[in-house]
Amino acid sequence: MAAPATANLKNLDGKWVMNPALSGSFDDTLKLQGIGWVSRKAIGMATITFTITETTTDSGATKISTLQTATGGLKGGVEDRVLDGSVKEHKDMMFGQVKESNKWLKISDLSDSDPDDKFLKEGWEKDVLDAGELVCGSQDNDKDGWKQRQVWGFAEVDGKRYHVRKVATRKGKEFQHLKTVYDYTGPA
């Protein structure tokens, strides 16, 4: 189901499920990140539901909490993204030791001459462009040599408004661009 008009980057509360028919495949991106074939295939077959709650921290930063539930009701952990630009290092089960940062990103800070920036910048709906900001998450894995930026917004896809995430991943001279599209399935 398309995103309701009330949903925006300042109000992502609700349940969101990736629409595989409208989204790209994760396989090449995960392969670039060093994820094995069996894990890539399992991820490709799973349906993941994100239950998102958006709040504000005591310091005034936006906090986006996401509970992930996989096919069959298997609950994953809660992922908290505090959009304050601070860099946090953690060990991820799948991606290893990662440095992560989350922030609001001004669309005007994305360059038209950089291919990753151009991909991340294009295709957003008028409300997102008028607001001038996207949610941006960056991850670096120094050991495996990859860097990834992910931006969130809303875009029109097949004539309907959807929550969209774009991911640009680089490892040396190799890169992958991925767009995922999410159906709204109800309140959180």
For the domain that residue 156 is a member of, what is the CATH number? 2.40.128.20
The rounded mean pLDDT for the chain is 94
Q: Is residue 4 part of a domain?
A: no
Number of structural domains the chain divides into: 1
pLDDT at residue 73 in the model: 66
Span 96-123, pLDDT tens digits: 999 999 999 999 999 999 999 999 999 9
Does residue 30 belong to any structural domain of this protein?
Answer: yes
pLDDT value of position 92: 84
State if pTM tops 0.75: yes
Closest C-alpha among 36, 137, 144, 27 to residue 96: 144
State how far Cα 138 lies from the chain centre. 10
pLDDT at 74: 66
- 172's torsion region: left (phi>0), alpha (psi -120 to 50) or beta? left
Range of the domain at 155: 14-186
Q: pLDDT at residue 47 above 90?
A: no
Encode pLDDT of 123-172 as tens digits: 999 999 999 999 999 999 999 999 999 999 999 999 999 999 999 999 99
Percent of the chain with pLDDT over 90: 85
The DSSP code sequence of 4-20 is: PTT-BTTB--EEEEE-T
Is 108 a domain residue?
Answer: yes
Q: Is residue 51 part of a domain?
A: yes
Q: Which of 43-57, 59-73, 167-181 has the highest mean pLDDT?
A: 167-181
In a domain, 102, yes or no: yes
Q: Is residue 9 in a domain?
A: no
CA dist 31 and 140 (Å) reads: 16
Residue 96 forms part of a structural domain: yes
Using CA atoms, how far apart are residues 106 and 132, in angstroms rounded to an integer? 6
User: What is the H or E stretch that residue 58 is in?
Assistant: none
